[in-house]
Amino acid sequence: MQLRTLGRCGLRVSRLALGTMVFGDPAWGSDEATSADLITAYLDAGGNLIDTPNGYTEGASERIIGEHLASRPGLRDRVVISTKFARGMFPGNPKDGGAGRKAVVQQVNASFGRLRTDCIDLYWQHCWDRHTTLEETLAALNDVVHAGKIRHIGLSDTPAWAVARMATLAELRAWAPIAALQVEHSLARRTAEGELFGAANELGLGVLACSPPASGVLSGKYSRGQQSPEGSDRGTLARAQLGERTFAVLDVLRRVAADLGYDVAAGALAWVRQQEATTSTTIGVRSREQLATDLASLSVTLPADAVRELDEVGAPYLNYPFPWLASIATPLQQGGTRINGVGAAPYRRTR
């Protein structure tokens, strides 16, 4: 499996990351034995980035990863451990969650215990905390980095304005830098391509793309005539992404997949992986079969015409000012020429 450096930092991560948020939940995800088996299979395939949150499955995911690595001497050093903070672990205790100094320090120490490690390679703010200043969060994370507890900082589910401010503050104050963003990105949900991808490009941040199959919508099980397929136990999340635009994407995916001889899920994953902004793509799996399918997508390279058609059929509607910039500003600026691969017809005023 190929490796890429994460943004401007020297951390080397594999093109597919193993997402483990359902490890330890046999009702929805995978039991402990299956989870450990999936870690082994992923690492054997050449992957090195294991991504987990502290809050899901009440910490069981972190504990399973920690026990697996601890029982195999020498394995920890070849693995990139990625986990998160900010989500509260104890209902009714508001001091436990958030991105304040207490939560940052308390949660990283708790993750150490479950992961059975003394340093976390990549530590994500799981979500923006509207009640804590960005300066407080950054200062706390900087202290934790300099204490040797974490190596790199990432931001997940954070507005682009906060990403830009945090990255700039860290640079100006010579604090530990922001290394990467974790964003939802799939052919069904592409709004990250506006503000967040723009921030990542301008600030030199790596991008970890999550949910490439869109809660299973792009797995090949869904269609206009089958919107609640067997096994769609997360139907609410999937149904929120269904609609004519998604079905149009699936029409193209099925045709391209049939022409090239692979399945729909592999095509959807390959499209995300082939995006220029994407450093690594998180695969969430519950079985060996799912893992094998996702790993097989590494051998799939969508041809340029297929990528272009999927880009067009699934083009997202972006908020202002993006429609105005595309329809008016770019044509006015470029005068009908193509610049850096971006074409625009001459602007013509309409009444």
pLDDT at 351 over 80: no
Q: Is 0.85 topped by the overall pTM?
A: yes
Contact assessment for residue 283 and residue 186, using Cβ atoms and an 8 Å cutoff:
no
Q: Where are the domains of the chain?
A: 3-316, 320-351
Average pLDDT for 287-297: 92
Tokens 């992957």 correspond to: 47
Instruction: Kindly state the tokens that stand for 78.
Output: 């070849």
pLDDT digits over 108-151, tens only?
999 999 999 999 999 999 999 999 999 999 999 999 999 999 99
Q: How far apart are CA 280 and CA 124, in angstroms?
A: 15
DSSP string over 33-70: HHHHHHHHHHHHTT--EEE--SSGGGGHHHHHHHHHHH
Give the list of residues 6+ apart from residue 86 with CB closer than 8 angstroms, or none.
Answer: 97, 98, 99, 103, 107, 125, 126, 127, 129
Average pLDDT for 210-230: 83
Residue 174 pLDDT level (bands cut at 50, 70, 90): very high
> What's the chain's length in residues?
351
CATH superfamily of 3-316: NADP-dependent oxidoreductase domain (3.20.20.100)
- Higher per-residue pLDDT: 48 or 331: 48
Question: Residue 231: its pLDDT value, please?
Answer: 62
Residue 249 pLDDT level (bands cut at 50, 70, 90): very high
- The CA-atom distances, in angstroms, between 254 and each of 171, 216, 222, 259, 306 are 45, 15, 11, 9, 11
Number of other residues whose CB lies within 10 A of the CB of residue 310: 20
Give the list of residues 6+ apart from residue 170 with CB closer than 8 angstroms, or none.
Answer: 138, 142, 176, 177, 178
Average pLDDT for 73-82: 95
Question: Residue 236: its pLDDT value, please?
Answer: 65
Number of other residues whose CB lies within 10 A of the CB of residue 312: 9
- Higher per-residue pLDDT: 226 or 316: 316
Contact assessment for residue 165 and residue 136, using Cβ atoms and an 8 Å cutoff:
no
Q: How far apart are CA 85 and CA 242, in angstroms?
A: 31
pLDDT at 335 over 80: yes
From first CA to last CA, the distance across the chain in angstroms is 55
pLDDT digits over 7-42, tens only?
999 999 999 999 999 999 887 789 999 999 999 999
3-state DSSP percent of the chain in helix, strand and coil, to 5: 45, 15, 40
Q: How far apart are CA 65 and CA 35, in angstroms?
A: 8
- The CA-atom distances, in angstroms, between 44 and each of 79, 118, 285, 295, 307 are 12, 24, 16, 11, 30
pLDDT at 292 over 70: yes
Q: How far apart are CA 324 and CA 337, in angstroms?
A: 18
Task: Using a pLDDT cut of 90, give the percent of the chain over it.
Answer: 75
Give the list of residues 6+ apart from residue 7 with CB closer than 8 angstroms, or none.
Answer: 179, 180, 200, 204, 205, 206, 279
Contact assessment for residue 38 and residue 284, using Cβ atoms and an 8 Å cutoff:
no
pLDDT at 75 over 70: yes
Q: Following CA atoms 14, 18, 21, 26 in sequence, which dihedral angle do they give, to the nearest 10 degrees?
A: -170
Residue 57 pLDDT level (bands cut at 50, 70, 90): confident
pLDDT at 219 over 70: yes
Question: Residue 342: its pLDDT value, please?
Answer: 83
Question: Residue 91: its pLDDT value, please?
Answer: 77
Average pLDDT for 229-243: 69
Kindly report the average pLDDT of the chain as a whole number: 92
SS3 state at 237: helix
Query: From the centroid of its chain, how far is CA 4?
Result: 15
pLDDT at 234 over 70: no
Which residues are known catalytic residues?
56
Question: Residue 252: its pLDDT value, please?
Answer: 95
Average pLDDT for 141-163: 98
